[in-house]
Amino acid sequence: MNRLPTWADVVLVPLISVLIAFVISGLVILAIGEDPVRAMQVMVKGALGSTAGWGYTLYYATNFIFTGLAVSIAFHAGLFNIGGEGQATLGGLGVALVCLFLPWPHWSLAFAAAILAAAAFGALWAAVPAWLQAKRGSHIVITTIMFNFIAAALLNYVLVNVLRPVGSMDPASARFPRELRLPRLQEMLDAVGIPFGRSPANITLFVAILACVAVWAILWRTRLGYQIRAFGKSEKAAVYAGISPFRITMAAMLISGALAGLMAVNQVMGEAQRLLLNAVEGAGFIGIAVALMGRSHPAGVFLAALLFGFLYQGGAELALETTIPRELIVVIQALVILFTGALDNMVRMPLAALFRPRRGGA
């Protein structure tokens, strides 16, 4: 395979892939008889035209940073963790248990405990497929898919039979105590005199940014990160270098599951204030698109998560203002996954051909 210059590999290939995905999305909008330019305007205005819109964009982006990082770190170890959805579901259960059943004097203590619980529950749900992959050779993609469904059934059972308040028909837990409400972005900015619209964006956003830095540090500044990347590049070489496949598979998947679980802190504690049946809302899967687009680098994941946050909020506005349903973003998400992931070589091959003569002449 022809090698591309690094800048082309890191910037040009994903950019072109995303561009193709968006052009096709535009064609889809045209095909259903709507105006893609107007659709874009509605989305930009809805997501970025007001501080509230920005708040929602950042709120969604927070979810996608966590799930995107989760997929990324597994990718670095050569593992495809498709189970972010289930791990986040379990993370939500952890958050709810901490908030409902333990008395907390202050929200900050509950917040710290919820973070730990979400990470632990998410990691636990990733641990079984990881162990099965490492010890029994069961394909992790299939087992994590199966664990998504098992998690959904488990949550359904717990909500209907255990956590549902007496007399309620809703499959949802009771509300968390009011004093456990996380500080919203709006309140924090108001405190320093910046007016900001109402949105569910909350303090978890900063945890997500910290997580980006932490994942970067783990991957490129620690021995474990080096081993994870070496293992992902070539299992044979890694084993030859004395790296234990079992240890790396477990470590990468535990971190991955913990990150996916953290997503629930933002949604369950930051927004809904109770555990709902479908708390994750597909964010686990969007993490795949985010990781692919961000080339599994925390900085790329951050930017891709912002883009998907924009799409999510813009898509909601689009459904309100036009006849284009919300599912448009699912199509865009599919096309991004298709072109940045599966059809990567379609962009790469012609580009490599384009770069070859110039490099040969130099």
Partner 1 sequence: MDFATLLQLLDSTLRLATPLLLACLAGLYSERAGIFDIGLEGKMLAAAFTAAAVAALTGNVWLGLAAGILASAGMAAIHALASITFRGNQLISGVAINFLAAGMTVLVGQNLFALGGRTPQLAGGGRFAPITLPGAEALSAVPLLGPLYAEVISGHTILVYIALAAVPLTWWLLYRTRFGLRLRAVGENPAAVDTAGVSVVGLRFVAVLICGVLCGIAGAYLATALSAGFVKDMTAGRGFIALAALIFAKWRPVQALGACLLFGFLETVAIRYQNVDLGGVVVPVQVMQALPYILTVVILAGFVGKAIPPRAGGEPYVKER
Is residue 13 within 8 Å of residue 23, measured between CB atoms? no
* Minimum distance, C-beta of residue 270 to partner 1, in the bound complex (Å): 26
Nearer to partner 1, 29 or 219 (CB): 29
Nearer to partner 1, 188 or 331 (CB): 331
Nearer to partner 1, 255 or 338 (CB): 338
* Minimum distance, C-beta of residue 320 to partner 1, in the bound complex (Å): 14
* Minimum distance, C-beta of residue 182 to partner 1, in the bound complex (Å): 30
What whole-number distance in Å separates Cα of residue 130 and Cα of residue 73? 13
The first and second tokens of residue 18, run together, are 């995303």
**Dihedral pair phi/psi, residue 202, rounded to 5°:** -140, -175
What long-range pairs does 7-12 form, CB within 8 A, spacing at least 24?
A: 8/351, 8/355, 10/295, 12/351
**Binding residues for partner 1, per CB under 8 A?**
28, 32-33, 80, 82, 128, 132, 136-139, 141-143, 145-147, 149-150, 153-154, 156-157, 160-161, 285, 288, 292, 323-325, 327-335, 337-338, 341-346, 349
Nearer to partner 1, 185 or 301 (CB): 301
Nearer to partner 1, 42 or 324 (CB): 324
What whole-number distance in Å separates Cα of residue 146 and Cα of residue 154? 12
* Minimum distance, C-beta of residue 180 to partner 1, in the bound complex (Å): 28
* Minimum distance, C-beta of residue 310 to partner 1, in the bound complex (Å): 17
* Minimum distance, C-beta of residue 313 to partner 1, in the bound complex (Å): 17
* Minimum distance, C-beta of residue 54 to partner 1, in the bound complex (Å): 25
Nearer to partner 1, 188 or 346 (CB): 346
CA distances from 18 to 187, 274, 300, 326, 339 (A): 35, 36, 13, 20, 7
Alpha carbons within 13 A on the beta-carbon side of 6: 0
Nearer to partner 1, 283 or 335 (CB): 335
Query: What is the DSSP code string of 86-146?
Result: HHHHHHHHHHHHHHHHS--SSHHHHHHHHHHHHHHHHHHHHHHHHHIIIII---HHHHHHH
